Amino acid sequence: MSKLFTPITAGSLSMPNRVVIAPMCQYSAEEGRMTDWHMIHLGQLALSGAGLLTIEATAVSPEGRITHADVGLWDDATEAAMVPVLKAIRRWSDIPVAIQLAHAGRKASTDKPWRGGAQIPPGQPNGWQTVAPSAQPFAPDENAPAALDKAGMDRIRDAFAEAARRSLRLGIDAIQIHAAHGYLLHQFLSPLSNHREDAYGGSLENRMRFPLEVFDAVKAVVPDDYPVSVRISGTDWVEGGWDIGQTIALAQELRARGCAAIHVSSGGLDPRQQIPVAPGYQVPLARAVKAAVDMPVVAVGLITAFDHAESIVATGDADMVALARGILYDPRWPWHAAAHLGVQVHAAPQYLRCQPRAHRALFLDT
C-alpha cells in the first residue's frame, strides 16, 4: 500500500491523499480580482486527483501584493471575483480548496516575473510605497520600505482577519498564513530584516510576536476546528539569519495556539542566500520540525519523482508532500504517481475512458 495515497486530516479538513498543490502566483489578476485565467488554471488542477488545492498567495491589502497583478481578498469586488471560479471548481470536483493569505512587505511593488520582476518605485505606474518591520530594502538598489508603526501593524493584522472572514463566506475549506519566502511576516521573524527596538524586535520572542498576533487574529474569526496552517521558511540560508532552531520554536508556539499544519519551505529573505538546491533539499527542515511538534508537516521543494515523494511520507520525514512548479509541468502528476505506485486515484467521470490499458484499475469509482 502507498502511504502517499492514504487519507489524512487537519482540523476539520479531510483529504483523500497526501499530495498537496502548493500556492503558485499567476500574476494575472486585475486590481486584485481573479480573471478567466484563474478559472482555467485552478480548474485543471482541481481535476488532478491531488488531496488539496491551494489558491495562490492572496494579498490582504492592495499594498500587500507582490505585483500589481496579484490576487487579493480585501473588499467586496475581490471577494465577488472568486465566486465564479470557486463555483466552477465545486461543480465538477470535490477537491478541498485552501487559500494562502499574504502580505509581501518590502518585497511588494514589483513587476511581473516575465517582465523582469524588478521593483517598481512609488510614483511610477503600478508602483507604490512598501512597508516592512524596518526601513531596510530587500536589495541595496531598491526603494526603502517605510517602517511600520503599531497602528500600521494593527491594520495589517485586522486585514488578515477580514480576509479570513471573506474566505469563510466563500466556503473555502482551509486557510494558510504566509510567513515564508521573505514576505512581511518572515521579515518580522528574521533578525536580518527586523531591526526594531520595540516589543516586536530583538529577541526571538519579540520577533515572533507580530506573526503570532496575526495567527491569533485569524483563528479568532474562524470556527474552533477550522484548519489554519502556516507556511514558514525553515532557514534564510544566510549566516546570522532565521534558522531551523528558531523555526522549531515558532512551530511549537503555533501548535500551542491551535495551528492545524505547518508547511516548511526556505529562503527568500536575503539576496545573499546560498541554497544547496537538489531534489528534496528542504526535506531535512520538515523532518526536524516534525520531530518537534505534534501536527501535520508538509514538505516541499524539487519533489518530482514518484518514489521520492512516497519515501518522504512513508519514512515519516513529513506527513504530506507539496508540488508547485512540478504540477504546473504535469497537471496529472497524482494520476501518474498512483499508476506508478499501483494504487487508485479519483478522476472525473468524463475522463474515465482515458484509463491506460496497463492500469485498468487506476481510477476509483465516482
Which residues carry out catalysis?
Answer: 183
Nearest alpha-carbon partner for 252 in 193, 320, 186, 205: 205
* Cross-strand bridge partners of residue 33: 30
User: Rounded to the nearest 10 degrees, what angle do helices 244-256 and 283-292 cross at?
Assistant: 40
User: 10 Å Cβ neighbour count for 35?
Assistant: 16
Distance CA 131, CA 108 (A): 8
Distance CA 305, CA 319 (A): 17
Query: What is the separation of C-alpha 246 from the centre of its chain, rounded to a whole number of angstroms?
Result: 20
Distance CA 87, CA 299 (A): 29
- Residue 85 is inside which H or E element, if any? helix 76-92
Q: Do residues 60 and 159 touch, judged by C-beta distance below 8 A?
A: yes
**The total number of residues written for the chain in this structure:** 366
Q: Do residues 12 and 96 touch, judged by C-beta distance below 8 A?
A: no
Distance CA 144, CA 336 (A): 46
Grid cell locating 11: 482540523
Distance CA 179, CA 101 (A): 9
Q: Do residues 78 and 32 touch, judged by C-beta distance below 8 A?
A: yes
Nearest alpha-carbon partner for 241 in 211, 204, 277, 286: 204
Q: Do residues 78 and 72 touch, judged by C-beta distance below 8 A?
A: yes
Q: Do residues 298 and 263 touch, judged by C-beta distance below 8 A?
A: yes
Grid cell locating 305: 519523482
